[in-house]
Structure 1
Amino acid sequence: MASATISKTIYLGPFVHSFSLTNLEICGKGVIGVDEKGVIRFVERDSSLEDVHSKHDEWKEAEIVKTQDNGFFFPGFIDTHTHASQHPNTGIFGKTTLLSWLETYTFPLESSLSSLSKAQTVYSNFVSRTLSHGTTTCAYYATTHVPTTNLLADICLKRGQRALIGRVCMNTMSPEYYRDQSVEDAVRDSKASIDYIRSIDPDGSIVQPIITPRFAPSCTATCLSALGALHKETNAHIQTHISENKPEIQLVQSLFPTSKSYADVYDTAGLLTSKTILAHAVHLTPDEISLVKSRDSKISHCPASNTALTSGCSPVRELLNAGLTVGLGTDVSGGFSPSILEECRQAIWVSRFRAMNDGDEAKLSTAEALYLATRGGAQVVGLEDKVGGFEVGKEWDAQMISLGEVKEGGEQEGKFEGPVDVFGWESWEDRVNKWVYSGDDRNTLAVWVRGRLVHTTGRYQQ
C-alpha cells in the first residue's frame, strides 16, 4: 500500500537518468532532497551528506534513504499502453495473429470482468505486479463495463500508482455479448467513467480518465466522431490502436473506403490530437507519419506484443527521426510481460532486426531505450513537466535498483537475490547495462510515486 504521509527525505547514493535521447547520466555519488509534497528540491552530484547539511541547514532532520547492494536510484518506468483486463491471459497467445486472438482469447476474458469480485482480483493483482516492476505510471485499458473500470481507478488511487484509466468503446466487429449497443451508450458510459474518475481525484494528480475507442474496426464512423466530440467536451486524453498489422490495415480500408488512410480515419473523427496515444504504429506510411506529427499525437511502441502476434517490427528510428514522440508499452496480454525493463530489451532487439535490412542506424542503444521508458513515456502521457527524470521541481517517481554482489569464491548457496551478477570490477556503465539486459523485478527493492513509498520487497531496508 502507499504510505499515508511522507516526510522531508534525502535520497543518498548513485542515481541514473536520461538527460536526452542519447545522453544517459550516471552519477556515482548523489544526494537528492525531496520535500513533504514529493517534489525534488535539490540534486547534488559528487557530494556527501555532510556537504548537503552544510548547504541546506533546514534538511538536517530529514529522513535518510540510502541505496543498497551495488544499487542506484532510477526514475519510475512509464507504461504507455497495456490492457489491465487481459492480465490473466498473459503469455497465452498460441499460434494466433491479432484478429483471431481477439476472438479466441481476449473478448471472452474481458466480458467476464463485469463481475466486481473478479475484476477486484484481476486489477489488484495487475497493479501490484506492475508496481513491482518499477512502473509508476500506466495507461490502462479496462473493459466496456463502467463499474469495474471505475474500480480500476479506485485501486490505482489507493495504491498510489499514476494511471490513465480507459473505459473501452466498441459498437461493431465484436461479439454481441460484448459491445456497446449504440453510439449513445458508448458516449454516455464513457462520460460516466470520466466523471467518476475526476470526482475521486479532481486534480488528476494520480488517476486521470482517457477516452478509449478500442480501434477503428470495432467502432463505426459515427461512434468515432461522437468520441471525438466527447474529447472536445471533456479535454480528456485519448488512446487507441493504429497500424498494428497488415490484415488489420486492409480491414480498415474496407470499412472506411473514403478515408485516405488509417490515421485519416481518426483525424476525420477528431481523435488525432496532442493528447492522443496511438499504440503500435508498425506500418505507418510516410503521409501518415506526417499527419501524426502535424497533430502532435504520440506513439506507444510495444515490441514484445508485435513480435508475439507476428505483427511486424516498428521502425522506431524512422519515427524518432521524423520528430514523433515515442514511449514504450507492454501491451499485456499481446505482450508476455508487465515489465517495461523487458520492453527496453525487446525494443533493442526489434531495432536490431530492422538493422539487418535497414542498416545500423536503425539500432537503438541502451541509453535510447531507457529514455523511451522514462522521459519519452512521460511526454506520451502528458506528464513531462512532472516525471521522467531527476531535476529540481519534478516529482519523486523513482525506484531503488539493487544488483547484489558475487561473494569471494563465487559459490552460491540458497536463492539468488536476482539475475544480475556483479563481481566488483565493473564500471557504473557496465552495471547499468547488466541490469538492462539481465534484470527483472527482483532487482527493484522499492518504488516511490510523488515521494510516497508504494512498493517494497522483503530485502528493502529503510
Structure 2
Amino acid sequence: MNPIILKGTIVSAPVLGRLEITPGGYLAAEEGRITGVWPVLPERYAGAPVEDFGDALILQSFTDLHLHAPQYPMLGMGMDLPLLDWLDAYAFPTEARFSDTGYAREVYQKLARELAGHGTTRVCMFSSLHTDATLILMEELERAGITGYVGKVNMDRNGGKDLQETTEESMAETLRWLEESQDFAHIRPILTPRFTPSCTDALMAFLGRLAAERDLPVQSHLSENTAELALVASLHPDCPQYWETYAKFGLWGPKTAMAHCVWSDARERQAMKEAGVTVVHCADSNQNICSGVAPVRVMLDEGLKVALGSDIAGGDHLDMLDVAASAIRASKARRILDGWETEHLTVAEALYLATSAGAAFFGARPGFGPGEPLHALVLDDSQLPKPHPLTPEERVERAVYRRQPGAIRAVWSQGRKIFSAEENG
C-alpha cells in the first residue's frame, strides 16, 4: 500500500492556544497512521505519489462531541423557546418520527454525508430511544467513514406518550442494541441517559451497572438551564447538586461527557475536574434557547477538560468552524458579563477545542501526532479576495469566522479518504 503524502500549508493545534504551522509542508501517513510532518519530504518517500494541494490549508479534521442526530430535520426551528418548552414543542415530536425506520434511513444518510463534507470525522452522538433507528444511524455513519460513539437514548419518564419507554423496555432494548452493535468497526456504543429528568432511579442504576460491567462510556446533559436545575432538584432532593444525580448511580468518571454545564458552580466544576469528566461546550444552543453563557475560560483556567459540540438542533450550525466561531463570541460575551475579569477564547484556542480536545475523549494524542490515525482535511481559501498577503494565522482566522462554501476539498478519517470535492461535484 502506498503511503498517503499531502502537501500544503500544514496547520495543527497540539496545545491550547498555539498553532503549529508548516508552510509548503508534507504530512505523511503509512497504513492510515501519521508518520510525521516535515518542511522537506524525507528521502525514504522519494518517488512516492504526493497529493499536492498547493498553498491550501491542511488542518486536523473536527470532533463534534455533542449532537442529536434525530433533531437534524428541525435545524433552525423553535429558537425562541426556552429548553423545556422547546423539547416538548419541537424536539420530542421530531424524535418520535424515528419509530419509522424508512424515515430514519433517509435522514441519517443525509446527516452522515453532510458531516463528512464539513470535515467532521469524530462524533459523540445521541440517537433517539428507538433501537432499530439507532442501529441504522450507526450503519450510515460507518458507511460514510465517520468514527466515534453513538448512543441509544434512555428515557422512561417525562417524554410524553409518543417518546417514552417503560423501564423494562428501556433496559431490554439497551441490551439488544448493545448486542447488535458489536460488528461496527468505527462506530461504538455509548450509554445515553437523556438527562436526569428523563430517567427513573431504577433505569439510572441499571445504566450505572452496565457502564461498570462493560466499561462503557457515558454521555448526557448537565446544568444547562435554570428551569432544568429546579426540576432536577425536585426529583432528587437528596442531591445538593445536579452532578450528584449521575455520580450516585456510577455514571460519572473519565469516560463521561457532559454537555453544556452553563450553570455549573465552583463545586460542580471541581467534581468534574476530580473525576476527569469532559465538558462539552455548545455555545450556539446555549444562546439560541436562552440557557446562558458557559464560563469556558474559568473552566479551562481551572484545568477542566473542555471540547466543543454543535448540539444540533438546539445549535443551528453543523459546521464545526461555525461552532468554533460561536464559542469565541460566547466567551467575549462572558468576558463582558464577568466585568472584563476573564479573557475570551482566541482562534487558536477554539481550533484546539474543536479538534485535539475532542479527539482526546477517544484516546487520541493532540495535533498530528506520529502513530495516530490520519484525521485531516484540506481547505482551499484561494477564491477569497485578500486585503494584503495573508499569514497562515490570518487565513486560519478567516476560515473560522467566514463560512466558505465549497472550500473543503478533501477529508480523511481513520486513514481513509471519505470526501473529495471533485468526486462530489
- Residue 271 (structure 2) aligns with: 291
Give distance in 2, aligned partners of 1:459 and 1:319.
Answer: 42
CA contact (8 A) 2:27 2:38 kept: yes
CA contact (8 A) 2:79 2:288 kept: no
Give distance in 2, aligned partners of 1:77 and 1:334.
Answer: 19
Name the SS of the counterpart of 1:151 in structure 2. helix
Deviations 1:258-314 (A, max 9, x none): 112100111111101110000000000211111111111111100000000000000
Name the SS of the counterpart of 1:32 in structure 2. strand
Q: Which amino acid aligns with 1:365?
A: T
- Residue 95 (structure 1) aligns with: 80
Name the SS of the counterpart of 2:182 in structure 1. helix
Greater alpha carbon shift after TM alignment, 310-319 vs 440-449: 440-449
- Residue 238 (structure 1) aligns with: 218
Give distance in 2, aligned partners of 1:94 and 1:160.
Answer: 31
Q: In the TM superposition, what is the alpha-carbon distance from 1:450 to its structure 2 partner?
A: 1.8
Give distance in 2, aligned partners of 1:19 and 1:109.
Answer: 39
Q: In the TM superposition, what is the alpha-carbon distance from 1:187 to its structure 2 partner?
A: 2.1
Q: In the TM superposition, what is the alpha-carbon distance from 1:61 to its structure 2 partner?
A: 4.2
From 402, 408, 418, the equivalent of 1:444 is 408
- Equivalences for 1:236-385 in 2 at 5 Å? 236-358=216-338, 359=340, 361-379=342-360, 381-385=361-365
Name the SS of the counterpart of 1:25 in structure 2. strand
- Residue 187 (structure 2) aligns with: 207
Percent of aligned pairs sharing the same letter? 31
- Residue 408 (structure 1) aligns with: none
Tell me the TM-score normalized by structure 1: 0.89
- Residue 398 (structure 1) aligns with: 376
Give distance in 1, aligned partners of 2:153 and 2:268.
Answer: 24
- Structure 2: segments with no counterpart, 5+ residues: none
CA contact (8 A) 2:205 2:249 kept: yes
CA contact (8 A) 2:116 2:145 kept: no
CA contact (8 A) 1:422 1:431 kept: no
Name the SS of the counterpart of 1:341 in structure 2. helix
Deviations 1:320-355 (A, max 9, x none): 112111100000000001111111110000000011
Q: Which amino acid aligns with 2:354?
A: A
- Residue 409 (structure 1) aligns with: none
Name the SS of the counterpart of 1:139 in structure 2. strand
Name the SS of the counterpart of 1:345 in structure 2. helix
Q: 1:103 to 1:442 in 2, by over 3 A?
A: same
Point out 4+ residue stretches in structure 1 off by more than 4 angstroms.
none
From 89, 101, 104, the equivalent of 1:116 is 101
Give distance in 2, aligned partners of 1:370 and 1:94.
Answer: 26
- Residue 456 (structure 1) aligns with: 420
How many residues matched? 424
- Residue 64 (structure 1) aligns with: 50
Q: In the TM superposition, what is the alpha-carbon distance from 1:424 to its structure 2 partner?
A: 5.7
Give distance in 2, aligned partners of 1:61 and 1:156.
Answer: 35
- Structure 1: segments with no counterpart, 5+ residues: 1-5, 406-419
Residue 38 of structure 2 corresponds to residue 44 of structure 1: yes
Greater alpha carbon shift after TM alignment, 246-255 vs 221-230: 221-230
CA contact (8 A) 2:116 2:144 kept: no
Give distance in 1, aligned partners of 2:284 and 2:189.
Answer: 26
Tell me the TM-score normalized by structure 2: 0.96
CA contact (8 A) 2:22 2:38 kept: no
Q: 1:124 to 1:423 in 2, by over 3 A?
A: same
CA RMSD of aligned residues (A): 1.7
Name the SS of the counterpart of 1:362 in structure 2. coil
Name the SS of the counterpart of 1:262 in structure 2. coil
CA contact (8 A) 1:149 1:166 kept: yes
CA contact (8 A) 2:66 2:280 kept: yes
Q: In the TM superposition, what is the alpha-carbon distance from 1:460 to its structure 2 partner?
A: 8.8
Residue 133 of structure 2 corresponds to residue 148 of structure 1: yes
Q: Which amino acid aligns with 1:433?
A: E
CA contact (8 A) 1:315 1:362 kept: no
Give distance in 2, aligned partners of 1:298 and 1:243.
Answer: 14
Name the SS of the counterpart of 1:113 in structure 2. helix
- Residue 13 (structure 2) aligns with: 18
Q: Which amino acid aligns with 2:112?
A: V
Give distance in 1, aligned partners of 2:25 and 2:417.
Answer: 20
Greater alpha carbon shift after TM alignment, 424-433 vs 448-457: 424-433
- Residue 411 (structure 1) aligns with: none
- Residue 169 (structure 2) aligns with: 185
CA contact (8 A) 1:134 1:441 kept: no
Give distance in 1, aligned partners of 2:286 and 2:277.
Answer: 20
Residue 117 of structure 2 corresponds to residue 136 of structure 1: no
- Residue 416 (structure 1) aligns with: none
CA contact (8 A) 2:298 2:342 kept: no
Give distance in 1, aligned partners of 2:364 and 2:306.
Answer: 12
